[in-house]
Structure 1
Amino acid sequence: MSYNNKSAKNENLFSSMMDLFFPFWPLLAVILVVVLFLAWGYKNYATPIYEVSATLIIKDENKGVDNSKMVESMSPFDSKKIVENEIKVIQSPDIMKKVVDTLNLYAPVYEEKDFFGLNIKSVSAYNSSPIQIKLKNPDEIVIEKDVPAEHYFTVDFSKKNVKVDGRIYPLNEWVDSPFGKIMFYPNKNKVQQAKKPLYFILINPRSVTQSLLKSLEVAPPEKLSTVINLYLQDAVPNRGEDILNGIIAAYNQNGIEDKNILAANTMKFIEARIRNIGNELDTLESENEQYRSSKGVVDLSQQSRIYLQDAGHNDQRIADIRLKLSVLDKVENYILSKDGGGSIVPSTLGIDDPVLTQLLQKLYNSEIEYERLKKTTAVNNPMLTSLADEINKIRPNILDNVQSQKSNLNASLSNLYSNSGKYTSALQTIPEKERKLLEITRRRAVKQEIFASLLQKREEIALSFMPTNGQDIVVTSAQASLEPVSPKGIKIYGIAIFLGAGLWIAYVTGKEMMNKKILFRSEIEESTNLPVIGELSYLKGDKQLSLNKPEDIPFIEQFRQLDAQLGLYSRTFRKKKILVTSSLSGEGKSFVSKNLAYSLAQTGKKVVLLDMDFRKPNATKAFNLKDHKGIVDYLKGEASLDSIVITSELDTNLDILPAGTKGGDHTQLLLNGKLELLFEKLSERYDYVIMDSAPIGLISDANLLAEFSEITLLVVRHGFTPKKIVRRLDQNLGDKNLQHIGIIFNGLKKRGLVKEDSGYGYGYGQAYGYGAYVQKR
């Protein structure tokens, strides 16, 4: 049972939606044609956009692979990187700005293009322009207006000049112009011939940089991957490829420059040490030669050589520790003297502690990134502030490590100095001349060892300056998609259809929601418990129907269906008096009552129609009986029943009792007792008594007639009766003695553009039957 109820509800919902929207389907067709045409125009007008992609491997200190060990051993300054940080570097304005300047993207060239014969569109001439434009100081470009000026030009390669805005400039030369120092040179990207006039505009490089950064996407394909993908969308495929390749080149060059800064700093330190040690060696060589010649000492004894070997080894260790202490002192001074401003960290030459090396490398990377961001962001930028905090956290850890190492090195140095004292005591046992020579030789051997070590370090650092060393690996160079990623026809047409349908739905729904009149049978059924007995189509003029008029036959058939629905054709039906009323004047109660009477008379039954709307006797007027005496005269006692009965010319089975003369208190007339006698006589003479009463919501006449009626038909007119009136029917009729009330939905007009009637309700086909649709109030 619940399943059937659910199915019925779904069916009713579907029917309601069809009733609401189907009449307006031609409007939907028109809207769809318009929006699809606009979509087609947009698709053909819009500039196709291609997606360019490239893939790069980042050397990460925690993930993935690095360059070969051979290259790493030759370059002590090859730094491993954190992928997330390097993505920020690639997306930095500094990198993109270099690409903009290199490719002269601040001076784009455009070619006019016809669109339906109109010059309302321009396309990039990156591949068709015969020249490119380069400015010596592009950062000085100032746009005086919101839209950059268009500078049309022509090129004459035979004369090697360019004509811009009426002025002639030579090719391949820096020349003065209203734009500053400018050069025009052949376009190496030209692959096709321009067919329309060409012009260029000048844009500040910073604006171009920001625009390109918005379309640049850099991300790893997986969370722990050292591979990153670069994506860029551009209207010109090979320009997008040049931009991405330029970004990769600028990024690698930036990494090489950063590495070279650290290498140069270390080289400077080593060169100074080599000069100092070299001078000391020269002094010792001279002292050695002078002593040998003055004292006549040629060579050392076996005892002296043994001593020299042991003491030299001890002295070398002392020299190594002193060098390390010197390096640690420089690192310590750097940490203590800096406030996190992002300078380059000093060299760690000779320090083998991996913890300190990692901390210094992390500090170096953070400070390099800090310097980059400081050039392009505000001081209070969150990323810059975060880096400064990170630098300030690393420095104390480095300082603790340095002080710990210095403490250990000083302890080792004390032991070595103690051994050195022993060697010095042993030196006293050697003859004086040989002892002096041994001291000179000992000092010279230490300096030579240090000098050789410094030369080796210098060569290692020199190798780190190789231009290809330290570059990240390009897995896939920039490649543009073969087909545009936008505009996509299917997507555009789909959006157009969606928007068109949405506009149509909004229009129909809004139109119906703003309407405060009853339009659908379902609205009546949702607003009141009273059953809807039938529906009658709109008939212009509210005229009397006749079988003699072929155009009236469909309407007469509707009344016959109404009669059947009421059960009036049943042989067992005993109810004869029918009251026809409405809530408001103008809802068509007179039209319903007179045509209901006529349809019943057509069946051979004797029918009488009483016009009891004394104030607006429309039924009387319809039968041209305004001048006849009628019910009012009868109730006053001024006319007999037989004298006021008029037989209709339409059918002899139909009699009319007109309203009669005006005047008097109609309510008092209805209460004088003669009305009851009137209905007794009419019930004896006629099969059906139809009463056309005044509106029940305006005058009390219908209430007074209720006791004489057996069926009450309440007329609700399509597009006329307010919804609020119908919603109040149950409340307003609750205290009235109306018998077996049923609603007639009258005047159904064709809606929408197709003028279909199917949207107005469920018709008569549900066969309620007498007992099903009537209810006593």
Structure 2
Amino acid sequence: MQTTNSSSNKNDQGLNLVDLLLYLASKWKWFLLSVLICGGFAWFKYASAPFVYFSSTTVIIKDPSNKTVSAGLDRYDNFINKVNVANEILQFRSKRLMREVVQRTHADVSYQIEDGLRDIELYTQSPVLVSFPDALPEQQVGFAVTVKDEKTVVLSDFTDKEARERYEVKLNDTLKLNSGKVVVTPTHYFRPSWKGEPIQVRKQALDAVVARYQVSLGIKQEEEESSILTLALKDSSPERAEDMLNMLVTVYNEEAIKDKNQVAVNTANFINDRLIIISQELGAVESDLENFRRENQVMDIASSANMYMSESRKYNADALEMETQLRLAKYIKEYLTDPKKEIDLIPSNTGISDMNIENQITLYNATKLKRDKLIEDSSDKNPVVNELNNSLRAMKQSIIRAVDNMIVSINVKRDDAQSREKRARIRVEAIPTKQREMLSIERQQKIKEALYLFLLNKREENALTQAMADNNARVIDSAEGTKAPISPNRNRILLLGILVGLAIPGVVFLLIMFLDTRVHSRKDIEGAVSLPYLGEIPYDKERMENRKGKKNELVVSDQGNDIVSEAFRILRTNMAFLGKKGQPMQVVTFTSFNVGAGKTFISHNLAMSLVYTKKRVVIVDLDIRKGTLSRHLGKHKVGVTNYLADLSVKVEDIIQHKEGFDVISSGAVAPNPAELLMDERLDELFNELRTRYDYIIVDNVPVGIIADATIANRVADLTIFVVRAGRLDRRQLPDIEQLYQEKKLKNMALVLNGADLHRHGYGYGYGYGYGYGYGYGYGYGKKKE
């Protein structure tokens, strides 16, 4: 006999690993189904997942001194020229840089073809190039491009629900759609072999593409103290990944140069603005100088002053000379008009500038000398002398007129010379004022000119500084990717699918096991109760399915070596050890906490097992409310209730003789079952049965639901409490222990019915099952529907 002791078995309550593994192994069909489903799904994911390629490039970040080192130590052990690599990494990861890279490489437009379940990215190997001239950055467009012939393509399968689902477009022509304009141009990959092959073209939202590539971009600092960075990118096209990495470094360097030249650019803008202003101001000053010189007829103040002084002296000398000539002319005139000197010769070579007058005076003097000589030789009456006198008078008048004309001319010239001399003197006097004004204008001109030249010089220096700005990052290893895809990994995905297929049912079954509070095996009972444990009746699922629909619940056989028959033999043997010396153990009562525990099944098969040992056995159905056993074994009109209620009924009247054992049915349904069971006739009945049979098997009602089981238990020698595996909550085991400790039921023992012995790894899965149960309510004799 096997008993359970809480103190001795306290350490055996836990589930060991072998039991757990054997329990999971018993569910191998579920594991196989889960592995097939998850493995198939994993294969589908592998076959439909796009290839992902890996590309990387290595760059070195230069320090501010353009040296390719990250840090140096000066003589005072201070770090100088240290590059903040973390800042550069954040710049590489910035959204603005990635947006520029995506726009330049046109990574927001993808070209894909189907290869089985997988889409293959063409990138630059696409036979056509699709552009969207007026598309917005956030716009999404998708359609299929199919080459029809050498000049025509077909656009179909639009994702934005165009009014028409099919367009034939000439290459290089513009197609106007609801979403905007589309232009399809051929590339150098355009071949007749692409005819009829649909190419999926998708223009994605720019921000979404930028965000995806920001996530795919990886940046690693090779060493803590170094400024060498490895940039890596994952993409469905290896060529596009390489182009994007190269473009990322290019854009980064452009931004770095732009940052470095920002001051120079601002300086250049300032210089250009100032040059425009100063050029205008310089032009205005030069115009003022030009106007001043034009208005004052001055090219150079010093030269003009010398010229004016020379003019003044010259005109002054001319005026003096004219004054001398005038005086000479007046002297000659006075001499000619003096009556006293009418017969005298006229002075010649007096310095008169008019040679005509000098010639006339010379001719006059010669004529007069000739006349005087004739007079000496003849008289005044000589006609020749008279003629000569007339000539002399005429000549003298001519000389006087010439002298008058010369005086007028000299006066005019003298006045003009004096006037010129006066003007020259005025100009000389105005020279200091003009010189001051001109110096002021020239000073402004020189200032503006010097400033203009200075700015021109600075502009050239600034342009030279801009041209000398160096890149911030130098490429050590150019972008290069793997030819083989790094994802999806077939073996990893399939292995993961298999592991998930194993994990899902494993987790489910473990959760079911650990969250299940029902009693399933002996280990669930051990340690919780101290009453004797008689054994367990296994559940043979296959056998019970074969017996489905049969009312006969007999499963034990005389020569049977099945586990169920052996379990009843063990139960029969253990019962013998519970009897006390000198007191026969004849009346065995079966009860339980809940309906459907299998009391009728066990009592029936236990009776047959005892019969096989040549024992006289009778089965008494004390379930006088429902008579479950009676229904299974054939209900008799006269039974226990008839015997208890009618004194005229004898024991022989209620006994039914079956094959191997006798049966006493419950009888007619009584309105007062509890009162009947309290009657002494029940004791008399069992006393009589003790004399006739070796064993009296009593199928009783559940304890605790109604009082029948406790009332009728007084006739029992052994009370077997039946626990149905999978039905009784483990939290009810203390209630069973309480019944045992309080001795409410006589000589109480426990049997586990319907145990799944393979559940916790006992190595065999035989058993039985049955599908019936009680329908007790709380009213007397009322059947619960």
TM-score in same-fold range (> 0.5): yes
Unaligned ranges ≥5, structure 1: 70-78, 116-120, 284-288, 296-446, 762-777
1:422-475: CA deviations, max 9, x gaps?
xxxxxxxxxxxxxxxxxxxxxxxxx99999999997776554444783352111
Cross-structure match for 1:588: 598
SS in 2 for 1:87: helix
Moved more, 704-713 or 674-683: 674-683
CA distance in 2, matches of 1:152, 1:564: 85
Alpha-carbon distance change, 237 to 760 in structure 1, aligned in 2, over 3 angstroms: farther
Alpha-carbon distance change, 249 to 548 in structure 1, aligned in 2, over 3 angstroms: closer
SS in 2 for 1:737: coil
1:626-652: CA deviations, max 9, x gaps?
1456685277432455665565532xx
SS in 1 for 2:170: strand
Alpha-carbon distance change, 463 to 552 in structure 1, aligned in 2, over 3 angstroms: same
Task: Number of aligned residue pairs: give it.
Answer: 581
2:89 pairs, out of 64, 75, 87, with: 87
Cross-structure match for 1:495: 496
- Report the Cα offset of residue 697 of structure 1: 2.9
Alpha-carbon distance change, 98 to 543 in structure 1, aligned in 2, over 3 angstroms: same
Give the greater-gyration-radius structure (CA): 2
- Report the Cα offset of residue 494 of structure 1: 3.7
Q: Is 2:118 the partner of 1:124?
A: no
Matches within 5 A, 1:372-521: 461-466=462-467, 469-508=470-509, 518-521=519-522
1:564 pairs, out of 573, 581, 604, with: 573
Moved more, 590-599 or 246-255: 590-599
Matches within 5 A, 1:323-334: none
Matches within 5 A, 1:691-730: 691-721=698-728, 728-730=735-737
Alpha-carbon distance change, 465 to 8 in structure 1, aligned in 2, over 3 angstroms: same
- Report the Cα offset of residue 226 of structure 1: 1.6
1:219-255: CA deviations, max 9, x gaps?
4334443222222111000111011101111222233
Contact 2:595–2:702 under 8 Å retained in 1? yes
- Report the Cα offset of residue 44 of structure 1: 1.2
Matches within 5 A, 1:230-629: 230-266=231-267, 461-466=462-467, 469-508=470-509, 518-525=519-526, 528-538=529-539, 540=547, 541=550, 543=552, 545=554, 555-568=564-577, 574-576=583-585, 577-620=587-630, 624=634, 626-628=636-638
CA distance in 1, matches of 2:85, 2:130: 36
Unaligned ranges ≥5, structure 2: 1-7, 73-80, 156-166, 290-299, 307-447, 769-785
1:543-584: CA deviations, max 9, x gaps?
363877877975433211111223359996854132222334
- Report the Cα offset of residue 492 of structure 1: 1.9
1:316-345: CA deviations, max 9, x gaps?
xxxxxxxxxxxxxxxxxxxxxxxxxxxxxx
Alpha-carbon distance change, 718 to 554 in structure 1, aligned in 2, over 3 angstroms: same
SS in 2 for 1:743: strand
Contact 2:538–2:767 under 8 Å retained in 1? no
- 2:87 partner letter: N
1:686-722: CA deviations, max 9, x gaps?
4434333333234433323333323210122344556
Contact 1:132–1:187 under 8 Å retained in 2? no
- Report the Cα offset of residue 19 of structure 1: 6.8
1:393-424: CA deviations, max 9, x gaps?
xxxxxxxxxxxxxxxxxxxxxxxxxxxxxxxx
Alpha-carbon distance change, 542 to 728 in structure 1, aligned in 2, over 3 angstroms: farther
CA distance in 1, matches of 2:557, 2:121: 78
1:76-99: CA deviations, max 9, x gaps?
xxx996433333333334433333
1:14 pairs, out of 17, 21, 29, with: 17
- Report the Cα offset of residue 610 of structure 1: 3.4
Matches within 5 A, 1:156-175: 156=150, 165-170=167-172
Alpha-carbon distance change, 479 to 701 in structure 1, aligned in 2, over 3 angstroms: same
SS in 2 for 1:487: coil
SS in 1 for 2:751: strand
CA distance in 1, matches of 2:520, 2:181: 74
Cross-structure match for 1:148: 142
CA distance in 2, matches of 1:735, 1:570: 20
Alpha-carbon distance change, 448 to 20 in structure 1, aligned in 2, over 3 angstroms: same
Q: Is 2:647 the partner of 1:637?
A: yes
Cross-structure match for 2:102: 100
1:52-73: CA deviations, max 9, x gaps?
2112211234997369x9xxxx
- 1:483 partner letter: A
Alpha-carbon distance change, 633 to 63 in structure 1, aligned in 2, over 3 angstroms: farther
Contact 1:612–1:694 under 8 Å retained in 2? yes
1:46 pairs, out of 33, 46, 49, with: 49
SS in 2 for 1:108: strand
Cross-structure match for 1:743: 750
- 2:243 partner letter: D
1:663-698: CA deviations, max 9, x gaps?
575544444444445545554554434333333234
Contact 1:563–1:569 under 8 Å retained in 2? no
CA distance in 1, matches of 2:471, 2:596: 93
- Report the Cα offset of residue 30 of structure 1: 0.8
Contact 2:556–2:564 under 8 Å retained in 1? no
CA distance in 1, matches of 2:66, 2:739: 82
Moved more, 568-577 or 26-35: 568-577
Q: Given the two structures, how large is their TM-score scaled by the length of structure 1? A: 0.60
Moved more, 558-567 or 516-525: 516-525
Cross-structure match for 2:199: 198
- 1:123 partner letter: I
- 1:485 partner letter: I
Matches within 5 A, 1:620-699: 620=630, 624=634, 626-628=636-638, 632-633=642-643, 636-641=646-651, 648-650=658-660, 654-659=661-666, 663=670, 665-683=672-690, 686-699=693-706
Cross-structure match for 1:58: 61
Contact 1:609–1:689 under 8 Å retained in 2? yes
